[in-house]
Structure 1
Amino acid sequence: MQRIIVLVLVTLANTAWAQPGATTKPKLVVGIVVDQMRQEYLSRYYSKFGDGGFKRLMGDGFMLRNAHYNYAPTVTGPGHASVYSGSTPSIHGIIGNDFYDKDTRKTVNCVQDSTRKAVGADGNGDVSPWRMLSSTVTDELKLFTQKRAKVIGISFKDRGAVLPAGHMADGAYWFDGKTGTFMTSNYYMTQLPAWVTKFNSLNLPAQYLNQTWNTLLPIAQYTESGPDDSPYEKKIGGKSKPVFPYDLPALRGKSTSYDLLYVTPFANDFLTEMSKASLAGESLGKDDVTDFLCISYSTTDAVGHAVGPQAVELEDIYLRLDRNLADLLKTLDKEVGAGKYTVFLTADHAVADVPQYLKDSKMPAGYFSNEFAQAKLEGYLESYFPGRKIIAGIGNEQVFLNHDAFQKDPKSSGIEMMIASELIGKYLMTMDGVANYYTQAELRQGSYEEKGIKGMIIRGYNPRRSGDIAIVLQPGWFESGSIQGTTHGSPYTYDTNVPILFYGAGIRKGTSARYHTITDVAPTVSLLLNIKFPSGCTGQPIEELFE
C-alpha cells in the first residue's frame, strides 16, 4: 500500500511539473557558454576537477556526450546566437564574428550598430543585437512574462553578452580593456545601474594584475598536457618564452591598460564576481517570475588561440574555471536556493590542434592563406575578365565577388557571374588544402536538412549576407599564416563536438550518447519554462531529459 502511495505522489509531482503554469518552474535560468571548449576536456581534466564545479554538473545533472554544431563556420558570434535562438546562421543571420557587408561594402562586426553609443566607458559602444534576425529563448521569456522577467548578459566580449541576452534584455555588459571596467551601450540604458558602478569601483583588475600566474597544482602533475616550453605556442603577454610563471606586473610594465587580464585565468575570476554581483544587484530569482542570467567565459578562447589545446596554460585555465563554477553554484544555492534554479553549460565552438604540431607528428594538416589565394585567383581571372576586379575579398572561408564588375551588360551579368564562380571554384580545387567548394546557386538549391559537409555549409549560409562561393578546407587545415597557436571554424568534429550539460530544477540525472545538435538547447529550455520556441528555431527538445 505504501508503495502505491509513493508511486501516486511521484506521478502527481511529475504531472504538476508538466502542466502549463506549474509553480515548480525555476526561479532563475543560468546559461553558461565557455568559449572554445571541447567535450573531451571534461574527461581529460576530470581527475583534477574538484567536486563542486564540473563534476557537480556532470554527476548531479544531465550530460550529452555526443553534442555537435550542425553548421559551419563554427565561431563565437554564430555560436552564441545559435545556442540561444535554436537556429543556425542561415536563419538568424549571424554568419561570422566579422563579415563583409554587401550594402556598405565594408567589413562589419556581428553586433556593430553605428546608431549606438558607449555607456560607462569610451570603448566599443556602437553595439546592439539588431543584426540577429531571430528571437532568442531570452526574448521569448520576456514576451511570455509581459517583460516582467529580468534578462542579463555578461561576458568579456561584447558579442558574448549581447547575442545571448537577445533583443529585449534589461542589460548586457562587457569588458573595457582601457578602464578595466564593465560597460554597455545606449541600446540598453543611458547610464550604468548603481550596482554595476559600485562593482566597477572595486577596481578588481588592478588587484588581479598585481600578482604572478603560476600553476594551480605542481606543474609535474599536468600530465594531460604537453611540455610547458613548446614551439607551437605564442608568447602570452609578450613574454620571452611561453612558460610558467607569468609575472603579470612585469609583463604589464608601465602600461595603464588592463588588456593583459584577458589572457589570464583571473579574467574568469572577474567575470564570476560580476555574475555574482548581478544576482544581488538585479534581485535575480527573488520572485515568482523566472529570470535569466547569460554568462559567457571568454578567456578560454583567448588563451586557447594563443597556445592550443595541448598546453599547460590551457589546462590550468580549466582547473581554475572549475573553481569559478563551484563558487558560482554555491552562490546560487545561497541567493536563489538549491533546487530552485536551472543551469545549462555549453560552448560556442571547439578547436583544432595546432596544424604545425600535427604536421610534425606526421598527421595531415596545413595552412591556407587568403591573401595568397586571392592574388593567384585574380591573376587567373585576368585572362577571362581583363581589366576587371572580380573578387571583393576572401574571408571566413568564403569568396565575395565584386558585383560592380558585372554591371556593364545587365543582360549577361548573371551568366558572367555564374561563369566566374565556376572558374574560381575550379581553380580553388588545384590549391593545396582545399577539399571542396559550393557556389551560391548550389547552396540556395540545397535542402536545409541535407546531411554531411554540404548540409553544414547550407545551414551556415545566409544568401543575403554570405559570400558567393563557400570554401571547404581539408581536415586539419585552417586560414592562417602563423605556425603557433590555433583557431576554429571548420565543419569537422574537432570544431563541432562541444559539451552540453543541464543541471538543477526540472533536470534528472543521467547521460546520453545520442547525437544532438546545438540548436536543441533553446527549445529544451523553452519546454522547461513552458514558453514558445524562438521564432527561427529549427532544433528539437532533448527527449532524454523528459523521459
Structure 2
Amino acid sequence: MISAKTKSKKHLGLLLSIPAFLGSSYALAQVDKPKLILQITIDQLRGDMPTAYLDRMGKGGFRYLLNEGVVYKDAHHNHANTETIVGHATLATGALPAVHGMIGNVWFDDKLQRLVYNVEDSRYPLLSVDAGVNQKTEIDPTQRTAKSSGRSPTNIQVSTFSDELMIASNGKAKVFGVSVKDRGAISMAGHMGKAFWFSKKSGEFVTSSYYYDKYPDWVTKWNQAKPATKYDKKAWQLSQPQKGYVFARQDEQVWESKLPGFGRTFPHQYGDKSNGYFNTFLTLSPAGDELTLDFAKAVVNNEQLGQDDVTDYLSVSFSSTDYVGHMFGPSSLEAEDNMLRLDRTIAKLVSFIDKKVGLDNTLIVLSADHGAAEAPAYLSTLGMKTQVVAPKTWDKKPGMQALKKKFGFDSALIKSYFHPYIYLDRDLIARRKLSLKQVQKAVATELEKFNGVALAVTSSDIEAGNTPQNYLHNLVVNNHSKNRSGDVYIVLEAHRFVADMEGLTVATTHGSPWGYDTFVPLIFAGFNIDNDVVYDRVSTTDIAVTLSAILGIKAPSGAQGQILEQVFDTD
C-alpha cells in the first residue's frame, strides 16, 4: 500500500475524479510519482512458485517483495490461451486478447495464406546480421514459423501502459523492454519504447530497425565484449548442496527432455562457445536470466533511467523459468534450482535499482505471462490420471472421415491445428458452397466426442454470441479475434496435454484455461508501498490500469481492468 507520506485516499479520490478533458498534466501535478516503473515478468511462473522454496531463499529477492509489497494471492489471467505473447500483451495493455489481438504465439493469416509469428515484421529487419556460428536450434519452435527476422510491435492493436506514459510525458519518458525472448521485450516496450532481446544465433542482445537506425554506441560495445562467452566451457551446477533439495533424488526422469550434450542430470554442460547449441543451452538454464539482468543494468546505466523528474519505465522479462519448465517440468530438480537462482537474480536487480534510483523512487510490479502445468508423467507417478493428446490424428478418426464423406471432401477436413485453433479448408468449403457455420458446428460436435477434449467452440458461435455463459466459455470468448482466430477453439480436459511442439518433445507445456495455467503471482512493491496480503480474486488486466492511476494518466486504449485500490490504501 502506498503510505500516507506519499499518497492518501483523499489524493486517490481526487485523482479518480479528474475529468478526462483536463489531461494527464493536471493529474500528474496533484501527486508525487515514482522516478521509475520497474515491471518484472517471469515467464511460466505459477502463482505458488515464489513461496515454494522460500525457506532456502535469501534477502532482497522474492522475500523482499513478499514481505514489503502488496501481495495478491489469487491473481489470474482471464483468457483461455495462456501462451507467452498473450500474457505479456495482456500485462502491457490491460486488455483481453479479444481486444489487443495477440491471441496466440502464432496464428494463420487468411490474407497471407500462411502461419504468422506474433511480432514478425519484414519491414523492420534486425540491425545486426544475427547469423552466428553453427547455431543449430533455438528450442523455441514458434520462431521457426516467422518468414523474416524483422520484428515490431505493430500487431498489438491497442496502446500499452508504456505508450500512455510516453504520451503523457510528451515523449520525455525513457521506455525500455529487455528479455531473452523477442516477444517478451517487444510487447512490454509497446509501440513507442525501445526493445532488446537475446539472439541465440549470435549471443548478442539485438533489436530491429523499428527502434533504431543503428545501435547506440553503448550497445555495440556491450555486444563486442561478448558477455555470453563467460560461460564458455562452464556448466550449470546446483547452487546449494543437493541433499537439501525437495527433488534431490529425482535428478533424472524419463519424461525430461534430453538434448545431446546438455543431458538430464547435473551438471548441465554449456560446452565450448563454438558448440552449435552453446547459446541455446544458456537460455535453458539460469544463465539466460543472468544475461538479461546484465543487459538491463546496462540500459539503466547508459540511458540514465530514473535520474530526472520524468517517470521512466523498464520492463525486464525473465525467460529461463519457461524454458526450464518445458524441458524438465516445474517439479524437477532443475526447476527447483532455477527458482533459487532466479531469486538471487531478482535480488541483484532490486539492489542495483536501489543504489541507482532508490526503492522509494521506484515502483516495482511483478507478475507472470502464464502459469505452469505439471509434467503429465510426473502427475501419473502421484496417481493423477493424465493423457497426452495427438491432434495430428484427429482428421483420420472415423467420425471425421464420415464428415468428409458427407461434405464431399477429398482432402483433409482439418487443414491445420495450431494451438489452440482448428483451421478448416475455407477455400474448399466456399467452392462446394457449404455453410461455414454448419461445417464448423459439425466438426466441433465431432471433436467433443474425442477422448481428452473438453470443449470445441466455433468462431461462428462466438461472433454470434451463442456461447454458454460459464467460466470456460467466457475465457474462450475473451481470447477471440475475428480476423486472427481459427474456426474452432479446442479446450483439452484438465491435465491433458499436447507434448509435441512442432517436432520437439517436451516434458510439459502450457496454454490452457485451467487454473494451473491462469494462476500467476502479482506483487506491487517499492515507492513507499506498505505491505499487505490480498485474497480477493483479481485479474492481470488490472495491472496496467493501476499503474496508470498511480501516475494519474489515462489507461491504455483497450484496457478492461479495474484499479487495485489496495495499492493505495493507508489503513
Instruction: Please state which band the TM-score falls in when normalised by the shorter chain.
Output: over 0.9
Q: Is the Cα–Cα contact under 8 Å of residues 106 and 418 in structure 2 kept in the other structure?
A: no
- Whole-angstrom CA distance in 2 between matches of 1:466 and 1:339: 43
Equivalent residue in structure 2 for 1:269, among 290, 293, 299: 290
* 1:264 to partner: Cα distance: 1.8
Quick check: 2:39–2:315 contact (8 Å CA) kept in 1?
A: yes
Contact 1:121 1:183 in 2 (8 A): no
SS in 2 for 1:421: helix
Q: Work out which of the residue numbers 464, 480, 485 in structure 2 matches 1:466.
A: 485
Gapped runs of 5+ residues in structure 2?
16-26, 132-147
1:6 corresponds to:
none
Instruction: Tell me the secondary structure at the aligned position of residue 132 of structure 1.
Output: coil
Residues 1:185 and 1:80: Cα distance change in structure 2 (over 3 Å): same
Aligned with 1:49 (options 47, 57, 64): 57
Measured in 2, the distance between the counterparts of 1:66 and 1:293 equals 25
User: Counterpart in 2 of 1:245?
Assistant: 267
What secondary structure, in the 3-state scheme, does the structure 1 residue paired with 2:483 have? coil
Aligned to 2:24: none
Of 74, 94, 105, the residue aligned with 1:97 is: 105
CA distance in 1, matches of 2:449, 2:91: 36
Instruction: Indicate conservation of the 8 Å contact 1:81/1:163, yes or no.
Output: yes
Q: Distance in 1 between matches of 2:8 and 2:380?
A: 57
**Which residue number in structure 1 is paired with residue 425 of structure 2?**
402
Aligned counterparts of 2:197 and 2:422: Cα–Cα separation in 1: 32
Correspondence 1:134-533 to 2 at 5 A? 134-169=158-193, 171-223=194-246, 227-236=250-259, 238-239=261-262, 241-249=263-271, 254-255=275-276, 258-376=279-397, 379-389=401-411, 390-408=413-431, 412-413=433-434, 416-446=435-465, 450-481=469-500, 485-505=507-527, 507-533=529-555
- The answer to whether the Cα contact below 8 Å between 2:7 and 2:32 also exists between their aligned partners in 1 is no
Specify whether residues 444 and 13 from structure 1 end up closer, same or farther in structure 2 by C-alpha distance, changes over 3 A only: closer
1:270 Cα offset (Å): 0.8
1:23 to partner: Cα distance: 5.4
Q: TM-score, normalised by structure 1?
A: 0.93
Partner of 2:564: 542
Q: Deviations over 1:444-467 (max 9, x none)?
A: 233999541000000011121101
Shift of 1:408: 2.9
SS in 2 for 1:502: strand
- Cα distance change on mapping 1:378 and 1:14 into 2, 3 Å: closer
Tell me the distance in 1 between the aligned counterparts of 2:446 and 2:567. Answer: 48
On the 8 A contact 1:345/1:502 being kept in 2, the answer is yes
Q: What residue is the counterpart of 2:151 in the other structure? A: 127
Between 227-236 and 459-468, the greater mean CA deviation after superposition: 227-236
Deviation at 1:122, TM superposition (A): 2.6
- Distance (whole Å) between structure 2 residues aligned to residue 150 and residue 185 of structure 1: 18
Larger displacement relative to structure 2 (351-360 or 69-78) = 351-360
Q: Measured at CA, do residues 509 and 236 of structure 1 come closer, stay the same or move farther in structure 2, by a change above 3 Å?
A: farther
Cα deviation for residue 331 of structure 1 reads: 0.9
Question: Structure 1 regions of 5+ residues with no counterpart?
Answer: 1-8
User: Could you say what secondary structure the match of 1:515 adopts?
Assistant: strand
Q: 1:216 to 1:257 in 2, by over 3 A?
A: closer
- Is the CA contact (8 Å cut-off) linking 2:420 and 2:490 kept in structure 1? yes
Deviation at 1:121, TM superposition (A): 3.6
CA distance in 2: counterparts of 1:296 and 1:160, whole angstroms: 6
Report the alpha carbon displacement of residue 372 of structure 1 after superposing the two structures with TM: 0.7
Q: Is the 8 A contact 1:26 1:290 kept in 2?
A: yes
Tell me how far 1:236 sits from its aligned partner: 4.6
Alpha carbons 2:261, 2:269 under 8 Å: kept: no
Q: Deviations over 1:175-204 (max 9, x none)?
A: 112221111000011111112112112211
> What is the identity, as a one-letter code, of the residue corresponding to 1:148?
K
Q: SS in structure 2 opposite 1:127? A: coil
Does the 8 Å CA contact 1:309/1:351 hold for their aligned counterparts?
Answer: yes
Aligned-pair CA distance for 1:337: 1.8
Partner of 1:112, secondary structure, is coil
Q: Deviations over 1:407-450 (max 9, x none)?
A: 236xx54xx22221122112212211011211112212339995
SS in 2 for 1:383: helix
| Deviation, structure 1 residue 257 | 5.0
Counterpart of 2:352, as a letter, is T
Quick one: structure 1 residues 108 and 225, their matched pair in 2 at CA, closer, same or farther if it must change by over 3 Å?
A: farther
Report matched runs for 1:33-44 at 5 Å. Answer: 33-44=41-52
Q: Does the Cα contact within 8 Å between 1:137 and 1:526 map onto a contact in 2?
A: yes
Cα distance in 2 for residues equivalent to 1:94 and 1:284: 29
Distance 2:111 2:196 in 1: 29
Q: How far did 1:543 drift?
A: 1.9
Q: Is the 8 A contact 2:284 2:323 kept in 1?
A: yes
Is the Cα contact below 8 Å between 2:119 and 2:183 reproduced in 1?
yes
Alpha-carbon distance in structure 1 between the residues aligned to 2:468 and 2:95: 12
- Deviates further, 311-320 or 14-23: 14-23
CA shift for structure 1 position 52 = 0.7
The one-letter amino acid of 1:205's match is: A
Instruction: Name the CA shift for 1:304/1:78 in 2 (closer, same or farther; >3 Å).
Output: same
Root-mean-square deviation over aligned CA pairs: 2.3
SS in 2 for 1:508: coil
The code of the aligned residue for 2:122 comes to S
Please state if 1:66 is matched with 2:85.
no
> Share of identical aligned residues, percent?
34
Distance 2:467 2:177 in 1: 30
Q: Deviations over 1:247-293 (max 9, x none)?
A: 3226x664385222111211111110101110011110111110100
Relative to the length of structure 2, the TM-score reads 0.89
